[in-house]
Each structure stands twice: as structure tokens, then as C-alpha cells.
Structure 1
Amino acid sequence: MSASTSGYAGIVRRFQDVRAARPWAWWRGRALVLLPLALIAVIMVADFATGPRVHLGPLLIAAPALTASFAGPVEVALIGVAAIGAEVVIAAADRWRGLVEYESHLSSLVLMSVVIVFFSAVRRRHQRQLALVRSVAETAQQVLMRPLPERVGPLRIASLYLTAQEEARIGGDLYGAARIARGTRLIIGDVRGKGLAAVDTAALVIGAFCAAAHQRAALRDLLAFLDGAATVELATSEEGEAGAGENFVTAAVVDIPDEEPRVHIVNRGHPSPLLLTGGRVRELRATRPAPPLGLGNLAAPDAHADSFPFRPGDLLLLYTDGVIETRDADRRFYPLRERLLAWEEDDPGRLVERLHEDLCAYAADRLDDDVAVIAVKRMPGQGLGGLRSPS
């Protein structure tokens, strides 16, 4: 399945979920309208019970005000008309005693109802604008952080992308995949910082990766290109800003050959990938630690690629530090390795889905940092000249 097909499938699923939830939302909205109507009825009964000495009509303004908290201007206007009608009924029942007082109350009720309807219309307009902005942001994420394909050569891939800010759809984490000659190339990274500057840098790095992954045969050449792109972008974004020179991008770039049971990794200050093999979890640490991207002269002159076994049936997990730095209510870090050992999942899709659910539950749906995850499994019997995983 292609990346675009996977993205369309996700959009279709979200549309189906919204459509399925729409009837319940419609009935819930109509049911809430009963609250201000009940309030109007209670005020009328109380006014009749207390007699002409106590006039409770001014309290009717609470009905349209309450409606404005959950409904649109049309519903608010209808409740306002109902409140005005109730005021007229109360005044008629009292045979318009104190005509001037009733007229002032009625005029105030009409004026306040109109004001509430106006502000309700303004709020509804702002809500629509916000929904449009969020929709555009989600589309931008689909363009910048395209969903990874579920199958690439002999590999099965699953990915996860979460932002710490609930209102945002794009963060400072990044990932990508590219099919190259006789293999697959992956990147996962994390931009230091937050906000639009981090988003700009993440977009530039992933764009540079997609442009150069096919052109740079050696990982060291690709990393040099990415380092130069990140250095220029960060230097440009830091002009005139405090803390210039303190921003960088941690990244891990992975080459997985089709016909070789190994994985080649260049790690630039990123959390070490984890390899799930034979019921064990192995940390693939860099033998020559290198600084992150974007540090200019501090960068390593020649990127060193570490090579590790990656046989059919093995599962490789790439992740950003937002995963291992997630905290629970007691401020304890998320125990990723312990979870992986306990789950013993061997399917990338199920592993990522379970990790997603467990992270949200662990943090009570309040992430402190963005999260990006890639799970990759080499399928038995594909590539490697028909090599099978050991029994």
C-alpha cells in the first residue's frame, strides 16, 4: 500500500467516525435546549406563586445566556423569543400593574437578547475559522509528514506521530522513508525547541532527506547534506533571537539493504533504536557518538555508520525522546524497554497502536513533548535470497 493510499484510508476512517458520532451530537444539542426552556418555565411558575409583589421576569435573561454556552445564534434567538413571550405572559397575568416597570423589563430583555445573539454569532464564526485553520494544519502535516507506507520492499512499517499541544497538528519531531536502489532508507529526528521555528526546521530537514536520499549513495554524504541544510536553516531562524547557536536537530538515519541481513545506522545525538529479536530487546548504541545536526563547525567531519544484525522476523523500533521522557502522575519516566519485553509484540502495526494507547494512559493524555515512532519488521522469506529467520 502506498503512502498516499494509507493517508486516504486514515482520512476515510476519521470521516466515518465523525459521521457515526454526528447523530448523537445532534440529539445531545437538541436535548440541551430543554434546559433553558425548563428555566423559563420555572421562573414563570415562581413568579405566579409569589404574586405581583415580587417580579422575577428580569431573571429570564438567563435563558438565552445559558443557551449561548452550547448552541448557535439561531437557537439563542429562539430561546430569547421564548423568554420575551414569557415576560409578556407574566405581565398580562399581573394585568400590567406598574406598566412602566414592565415596559422597562421587557425592553431590557429584548436588548440583552439581541446582544447575546450577536456575540453568539461572532463566536460561531470564530469557531468555524478555527476549524478551518486546524483542517489546514492537518493537511499540512499530511504533506510534510506523509504517512509511511505499510510495505516497502521486504519491510513492513508502522508509524506514530503525536504533538504535545492538543491544538497543534505539527510539531518539531520528524520522520520519513525513501526507497533507494536495493534497499530502504529511514530518518527520525527531533528539533530542539517548539513553535513555528521548530516546525520550519523539521519541514526543511525532512524535505532535504526526501530530496537527497536517492542521490547520496553513502550515508556519510547524506548526513553531510542534512547537516548543512539544518545549519543554514537554524542560523537563519536565530538571527536577532536570544539563545542563538543553542538550537539543533537530533536524528538517526537508517539504511536497510534488501539482500543483506543487517541494518546500518548513523546516529547524531538521537535516542538509540531498539531491536526486538528472539524475545529480547537490544539497544543499538552508536560506537562513535556524534553531535546533532545544525551545529556547524562542531559537527563530526565524517559520519560513522554502525552495522547491526537485522534478520527476517526482527523488529526495529525508532523513536524520539518524547516517548522515554513521558511521565506519569508521580513524574516517573515511561519504561519503554520493560513494556516491549512484557508485550512481546511482533507486528509493527499492533506494536505502534499498543504503544500509542499505553503512552496516553501513562501520561493521562497530557504529553510533555512531541512523539514520533517508526516500527520496522523484515518479513521472513522476502529478500536475502530467500533467507528465513532462524527457528
Structure 2
Amino acid sequence: MTDRKPPSSWTLLSCTPILVMSVVAVTDIVAGPGVGFLPLVSLGPAFAGLVGGWRRTAWFGLAALVLCVALGLYDGLFDGRRGYTALASVAGVTGVGVAAAVMRSHREAELASMRSIAEVAQRVLLRPVPLTAGPLQAAVSYTSAVAEARIGGDLYEVVASPHGVRVIVGDVQGKGLAAVETAAVVLGAFREAAYDEADLSGLGERLERSVARELEGEKFVTAILAEIGTGHEAVFLNYGHPAPMIVRRDGTVDFPQPPSFALPLGLGEHGGEGPKPYRVGFAPGEQLLLYTDGVTEARDEGGRFYPVGERTHLLKGPDAHQALEALREDLAQHSVGPPHDDAAMLLLRYLGHEGGESVPGRRVNRDFGTVERTHVRE
């Protein structure tokens, strides 16, 4: 025997017109015409217009008129004005409810169209990262601070180039459409330059010039660039972004820091040297997590920041996507209330040796950017 599920709020609202008209009818019959409940029959079509279409509202309005006539004849109200006043009240409320339902359906259709267009634009801007690139397996998580949105001011991308797997994770100053527009500029420049530039410094300079042309005033973008080649090491270029986290095979955690502080993208014209690339060992069996400050600055009820370095046990699962999803859920449980900032995380796993290692459904070759699909027998 199974327990009954409680009715949803939508079901309760759908039943409200019937319930209201039933209560009015019973009360009018029991209390008599002197109470003056008859005009309240118009509440039926009024509630119907809140949750249903115009046809449903019209049917409830017709039912209310029939009920009003029946109760008026029963109470003898048509000998005077009271019966006709009740009929006029029901007809007027029904007409207004039908008009409101038609307007709401038009607005809902327009909103659905706008959402579909926005979803396409979001998929174009933040495309799904490749499952594998070279010897790496990639997984991404994105939580927008804006309700009903899938993207915001954070950005990420993974490109398998002739020079190695190149990655960017960034955070645009501000929120809203302006931040999305800036993120589009950075991602467009990165996708083009990642294939052309021979080294990471040249790639960073291309991004700096592109962002400087588009941004105005004191706007900026913090970002970290990474390049993973065949030498069991990762090269980083940090533009004022949180340090990456590397989980070693023995479970220890490193947060490699840049040799010197550098300004974010867009502020290079204010002076100061650009960032210097630095190399860090990154071998098979290890994991690299890039993230934005929406992760590390999430606070719990006591005001404590999220200790991402203490949550590496969540990344031990065999599947990178499930492991990152576990980390995202833990972050959501740590935070108090809705997120106050976008939070992006990009997890890269070094799958195997240079010669390649088989993973479920794929065989990864040593040449970067080459991924062959294989069939796995169940």
C-alpha cells in the first residue's frame, strides 16, 4: 500500500472555482436569500481566470450563470432587482476573466518564445566542453546567480589546439546582460586565438587587446589560462584570478600561485607588467580544478567561506561529471539562501599515459585534439 501524495498547489487552484461555487450555493440554500450570497457566485469564473485559459474561464462563467439563475428562482429574487444584479455581476466578472486569460496566454507565448531564443544564445555562448581532449577528461558546472538564467558573468572553454589543450576560466565584473556581452567577447577571442598563438603569453596578449577594445571605464575580467601539453606539466597565465587547485595522486592538494601579481584583463592600459607564465607538474592520475570566486566566496550561516581544498574527497568518483556534480551539491548545501554570485567550475582529469588510455566508449590518442569513439560491450 502506498502513501497518497499531497495535491499540488496548481491542482488546488484548479479546483478552487468548483469549491467556491459549491460553498456559495450551499450557504445560500441553508441561510436563505436574506444573506445576499448570490453575487459571490462570480468568484468561480474569477478564480478560473487565474490558472486556466479563456475557454475554461468561459465555461465556468456559463456554469456560474446557470447556478445564479437556479438559485435566484429558488429564492424568488427575480421578482425584484437582486436577481438581475447578481446575473450582471457574474456576467461582468466572466467577461473580465476571459479578457485577462487571453492577455495572459499571449504573454506566456511571448515569454516561451523569448526563453527558447535565450536558450539557443546561451548554448552558443557557453558550449558544452568536450568529454575528452587529448589525454584529458573534462567536466563543467555552472550556477548562475540570476534566477531562470543558465549563464551570467562567468565563462569557460576548452580547446584542443595543435599546441596542446588550452583552457580558460574567467569572471566578468558585474552581472546581467552587460556581463554576458563581455563574456561573449572574451570567449570569441579565446576560441580564435587558441589555435593561432604558439605560446600562452601570445594568447593572453590577444585577449588583452580584444577586451581593451570592448570594455569601457574600469570594467575588467579576471581569468586564468592553462595549457596542458605532452610533458606532464601544465602552464598557467593568471590575470588576477583565484589560483587553480591540483589534486595529486596521493590525495594532497596544491594551489600553485603565480610568480607575481597581474592586473585583470581590460586593465592593462593602466600600467603594470602583464602576467608571467608558470609551469606546474601535472601527471596522469591527477586532477585540475579551475573555478571562479563564486565558489570560494560562498558563505555558510556562520560566515565561513567554502573550503574547496577540504572537499577533494568528493572528486574521487570514477566519473568526472558525477564527481563535479557532488562538489556542486556540496557547495549549494554550504551556501545560505540563493547564490549571490555566479559559480563556475571546470574539472580536468589526466586520464593516462602519453600513449593513451581507454575510457568507457572512447579511446584517447596521444595527439591532442584527437578523440576516437569505440564501442563498449555491455
Q: Would you say same fold, with TM above 0.5? A: yes
Q: Quote the residue 1:101 is aligned against.
A: 82
Map Cα deviations across residues 364-384 of structure 1 (whole Å, 9 max, x no partner).
Answer: 561100111100011123448
Q: Quote the residue 1:232 is aligned against.
A: 213
Q: Is the 8 A contact 1:137 1:170 kept in 2?
A: no
Which one of the candidate residues 218, 238, 242 is aligned to 1:271? Answer: 242
Q: Distance in 2 between matches of 1:86 and 1:296?
A: 75
Q: 1:98, CA displacement in angstroms? A: 4.2
Q: Distance in 2 between matches of 1:196 and 1:383?
A: 44
Q: Distance in 2 between matches of 1:70 and 1:365?
A: 29
Percent of aligned pairs with the same amino acid: 37
Q: 1:232, CA displacement in angstroms? A: 1.1
Q: Secondary structure of 1:206's partner? A: helix
Call closer, same or farther: CA 1:187–1:342 in 2, change over 3 Å: closer
After superposition, residues 197-236 of structure 1 pair within 5 angstroms as 197-235=178-216
Q: Distance in 2 between matches of 1:117 and 1:284?
A: 64
Q: Distance in 1 between matches of 2:350 and 2:315?
A: 19
Which one of the candidate residues 126, 133, 142 is aligned to 2:114? Answer: 133
Map Cα deviations across residues 165-221 of structure 1 (whole Å, 9 max, x no partner).
Answer: 113232011111111115200001000011221111110000000011111111111
Q: Distance in 2 between matches of 1:230 and 1:94?
A: 77
Q: 1:138, CA displacement in angstroms? A: 1.4
Q: 1:76, CA displacement in angstroms? A: 1.9
Q: Distance in 1 between matches of 2:12 and 2:178?
A: 45
Which one of the candidate residues 308, 323, 328 is aligned to 1:351? Answer: 323
Call closer, same or farther: CA 1:143–1:254 in 2, change over 3 Å: same
Query: Is residue 151 of structure 1 aligned with residue 132 of structure 2?
Result: yes
Q: 1:82, CA displacement in angstroms? A: 1.7
Q: 1:315, CA displacement in angstroms? A: 0.4
Q: Distance in 1 between matches of 2:227 and 2:312?
A: 23
Q: 1:362, CA displacement in angstroms? A: 2.5
Structure 1, unaligned runs of 5 or more:
1-23, 236-244
Q: Secondary structure of 1:174's partner? A: strand
Q: Is the 8 A contact 1:284 1:308 kept in 2?
A: yes
Query: Is residue 305 of structure 1 aligned with residue 277 of structure 2?
Result: yes
Call closer, same or farther: CA 1:365–1:136 in 2, change over 3 Å: farther
What is the RMSD of the two structures over their aligned residues, measured on CA atoms? 2.4
Q: Quote the residue 2:49 is aligned against.
A: 68
Q: Quote the residue 1:337 is aligned against.
A: 309
Q: Distance in 2 between matches of 1:226 and 1:253?
A: 10
Structure 2, unaligned runs of 5 or more:
358-364, 367-378
Q: Is the 8 A contact 2:135 2:356 kept in 1?
A: no
Q: Is the 8 A contact 1:279 1:344 kept in 2?
A: no
For 2:153, give the aligned amino acid.
G
Q: 1:61, CA displacement in angstroms? A: 2.0
Call closer, same or farther: CA 1:223–1:250 in 2, change over 3 Å: same
Query: Is residue 361 of structure 1 aligned with residue 333 of structure 2?
Result: yes
Q: Quote the residue 1:86 is aligned against.
A: 67
Q: Quote the residue 1:162 is aligned against.
A: 143
How many residue pairs get matched? 353
Which one of the candidate residues 105, 114, 135 is aligned to 2:95? Answer: 114
Q: Is the 8 A contact 1:280 1:341 kept in 2?
A: no
Call closer, same or farther: CA 1:131–1:358 in 2, change over 3 Å: farther
Q: Quote the residue 2:360 is aligned against.
A: none
Q: 1:44, CA displacement in angstroms? A: 0.3
